[in-house]
Amino acid sequence: MISAQEALERLREGNARFVSRQRNLDALTSERRREKVAAGQEPFAVILGCSDSRVPAEIVFDQGLGDLFVIRVAGNIVAPSQIGSVEFAVARFDTRLVVVLGHSNCGAINATIEELGRGKKEQSRNLRSIVDRVRPSVEALLAMDCNPEQLVHQAVRANIRMSANQLRHGSEILEQLIQHEGLMVVGAEYSLETGVVEFFEGV
């Protein structure tokens, strides 16, 4: 089993390779590797990331087939099906690190800020179910009166923190594993501009 700290180190190193363009995509996706993991997977980290097309987890962490168990949803929100996916991965594969991966200038955050500013509700109830989960992070910040750019930046981080806390405390299975089995849930932000992932919460 790969410990949470070791997994974190692998992700940091992988992101450094991505940023410095020393990636090795051929080895990560080779036929040999595909055949090896077809028999079974042992992902060393679970990533709950945003669906944004510019933040594919495997690419920004320079990982290949079988390395990461990835859940992507707009705004990296936590609803029951996301918790269930994380529970499944950590229980089935003994994965010890869970990363909530948000990113700069996230569209889900911007949409939530816009909606709160307009005072009008999103028409689609399906979309609204996402905005409603982001809303508490943004509302707390709106009361603080910061400039628009700062607001987005801080709301992105607040939303990542909220998702991480929901994973830590929204599941008995995960809570037990955190207390007794070394499971870690951490928060990270990817910069669209630099490609750097900053682990800023829970590490």
Task: Report how far apart, in Å, the C-alpha atoms of 102 and of each of 47, 54, 90, 91, 162 are.
Answer: 10, 11, 21, 24, 11
**Ordered alpha helix ranges (H), 2-47:** 4-19, 25-28, 31-38
Judged by beta carbon, residue 10 or residue 103, the one nearer Zn ion is: 103
Q: Determine the Cα–Cα distance for residues 19 and 188; give it in Å rounded to an integer.
A: 16
Tell me how far, at minimum, the Cβ of 81 lies from Zn ion, in Å: 18
Name which of residues 145 to 164 contact Zn ion (CB under 5 A): none
Tell me how far, at minimum, the Cβ of 107 lies from Zn ion, in Å: 5
Tell me how far, at minimum, the Cβ of 22 lies from Zn ion, in Å: 26
Contacts of 151 (CB under 8 A, 6+ apart): 113, 138, 141, 142
Judged by beta carbon, residue 95 or residue 163, the one nearer Zn ion is: 163
Q: Determine the Cα–Cα distance for residues 145 and 143; give it in Å rounded to an integer.
A: 6
Contacts with Zn ion: how many residues (CB under 5 A)? 3
Beta strands in the chain (DSSP E): 45-49, 68-72, 97-103, 184-190, 197-201
Judged by beta carbon, residue 52 or residue 62, the one nearer Zn ion is: 52
Strand partners, 198: 189
Name which of residues 13 to 52 contact Zn ion (CB under 5 A): 50, 52
Q: Which two tokens stand for residue 99?
A: 């990363």
> Per-residue string for binding with Zn ion, 45-84, x by CB under 5 A?
-----x-x--------------------------------
Name which of residues 81 to 110 contact Zn ion (CB under 5 A): 106
Tell me how far, at minimum, the Cβ of 139 lies from Zn ion, in Å: 19
Tell me how far, at minimum, the Cβ of 117 lies from Zn ion, in Å: 19
**Residues that bind Zn ion in the complex, under the rule CB under 5 A:** 50, 52, 106
